[in-house]
Structure 1
């Protein structure tokens, strides 16, 4: 885990005069190039790492910057412990647990915990997360069936590279052999996940950022305006908290939600329909038509009831 490695490197630099990149790479079972990137991250965080040249060269931290017990204050340590505890629970990571124990020796004990972080999700099987992480660390191909946004089911073989957590869901980035390109998959849509014994080597060319993607995204974003009645305020705020909101005299709320291609955003339709009569789309008109058709199709399923 990168966070664990960074913390460990910081403590090693604090407790040693000079450490070489090759020594650190061997200990953490990564390449010297990875250590160079780690040192850049540590330096960017404001820690004065200095480089020593020569046969006995390497990296160290400026003597005047070293503290008696820790570079991190108890406030920082407490928050690091909280985040690591949640991650170690999800992944059953013994190494992260070891880091937690080391951090606890320098952090102050508090009777009341003022922060709790939970990375677990009912949408994702914990075992799937562990298999994917094993695929990343051991460079093994994973195989699964995937349901895309168009509800199409396809079989995929992927070389997993990175797990990340966003919007209350886990996602995996990697090289999809079916598409012969890098893709992002949402774990909740993955079925029959298998960690194969086939290993892979990283591709020479990593995905490059599309410099025009931001402009393309902005050009296809439109505002969806909804009127939320009092009985649905809590549900709507849970879904759309960071949007423009304005209370009306009758206690309802107008919400203006920027959405990428709202007439194709099935995820948005599902949320709006889940409010039942508690929310009404004011604009765009075409979205009102779409929701009306979906409601009519749903009613047809229950005509005989």
Structure 2
């Protein structure tokens, strides 16, 4: 128990820089005298722990101690934290505490730069992902060709802040210098990405609330009628408040960017769903079905 407490004291000092013996005693439910004995044990073990008496005093570590004596490179630290974040995204038990401790040890506070999913990547997409990940971690601006929803291609210069997996697709979020505003870019539409070698200072705290939640894209409201044969998908894939039960199935409402993913998703229900609104998308799906039928004539 004492060894665990000694390590915990180091983690606290790394995180808060300075604490009082009374605070540590209350945290670990021991006496102040016990805390001072622990501090002496850490000092004897070669850990540079210092105590200052008087107003504003407390217990602290020598500045930069862990960084100067770390056995792991910055890249290795990033890999460890990313692995733990992956487990946290999968709701793996007891990773939050370990992630918090290692973030303190590595002196890395901004660990929310990625939301992780275990979907497979194709070779080309993985290369883009790794380049963008490097740009996010190094705070390096990137340039790439981007195909908008209207199909037009444009070269963009972006300060990438976060990678995001949402609605079965990967996105990069950041500040677009072309638009002078924050944007969300779908990675599958990014072509010819390149690192510019130019660093930037913006952090995650700069992301506006709407884009931080995964917004920043124009969405369209779609109303569907889905047959009872797809009951399992209705309750798996739609929010309860957006589902209305009918005699022969369900009426559901969803909001999503209008793009190829949306068309493919609607078609994935086969003959068991139809678009009620908007009429424009209903016609698009009908046209796609005609084209598919032509492939089999």
In the superposition, the TM-score normalised over structure 2's length comes to 0.52
Q: Distance in 2 between matches of 1:127 and 1:242?
A: 37
Matches within 5 A, 1:211-290: 222=221, 224-230=223-229, 232-240=230-238, 242-248=240-246, 252-259=248-255, 267-283=261-277, 287-290=281-284
Equivalent residues of 1:173, 1:183 under 8 A apart: yes
Report what 1:171 is aligned to: 171
Q: How far did residue 123 of structure 1 move?
A: 5.2
Of 171-180 and 281-290, the range deviating more from structure 2: 281-290
Report what 1:60 is aligned to: 19
Q: Distance in 1 between matches of 2:226 and 2:178?
A: 43
Q: 1:254 to 1:208 in 2, by over 3 A?
A: closer
Equivalent residues of 1:13, 1:59 under 8 A apart: no
Q: Distance in 1 between matches of 2:116 and 2:85?
A: 6
Of residues 259, 278, 302, the one that matches 2:295 is 302
Q: Distance in 1 between matches of 2:234 and 2:132?
A: 33
1:202 alignment partner, SS class: coil
Q: How far did residue 236 of structure 1 move?
A: 4.5
Q: How far did residue 278 of structure 1 move?
A: 1.4
Q: Distance in 1 between matches of 2:174 and 2:156?
A: 11
Q: Distance in 2 between matches of 1:174 and 1:283?
A: 32
Give the unaligned 5+ runs of structure 1: 1-10, 25-38, 40-48, 50-57, 69-80, 91-95, 104-116, 211-216
1:66 alignment partner, SS class: helix
Report what 2:147 is aligned to: 147
Of residues 9, 17, 25, the one that matches 1:15 is 9
Report what 2:37 is aligned to: none
Q: 1:241 to 1:17 in 2, by over 3 A?
A: closer
Q: Distance in 1 between matches of 2:165 and 2:24?
A: 38
Of residues 119, 132, 144, the one that matches 2:117 is 119
Equivalent residues of 2:116, 2:164 under 8 A apart: no
Q: Distance in 1 between matches of 2:135 and 2:235?
A: 37
Could you list the per-position Cα deviations for residues 259-289 of structure 1 after superposition, in whole angstroms to 9, with x for gaps in the alignment? 369xx56644432222221112345556544
Equivalent residues of 1:223, 1:258 under 8 A apart: yes
Q: Distance in 2 between matches of 1:18 and 1:302?
A: 65
Q: Distance in 2 between matches of 1:161 and 1:287?
A: 33
Matches within 5 A, 1:23-62: 58-60=17-19, 62=23
In the superposition, the TM-score normalised over structure 1's length comes to 0.51
Q: 1:286 to 1:186 in 2, by over 3 A?
A: closer
Q: 1:168 to 1:267 in 2, by over 3 A?
A: closer
Number of aligned residue pairs: 213
1:154 alignment partner, SS class: strand
Q: Distance in 1 between matches of 2:168 and 2:288?
A: 26
Report what 1:131 is aligned to: 131
Could you list the per-position Cα deviations for residues 113-133 of structure 1 after superposition, in whole angstroms to 9, with x for gaps in the alignment? xxxx96233357344333222
Moved over 6 A (4+): none
Q: Distance in 1 between matches of 2:142 and 2:202?
A: 16
Report what 1:186 is aligned to: 186
Report what 1:162 is aligned to: 162
Q: 1:291 to 1:243 in 2, by over 3 A?
A: farther
Equivalent residues of 2:224, 2:277 under 8 A apart: yes
1:137 alignment partner, SS class: helix
2:28 alignment partner, SS class: coil
2:178 alignment partner, SS class: coil
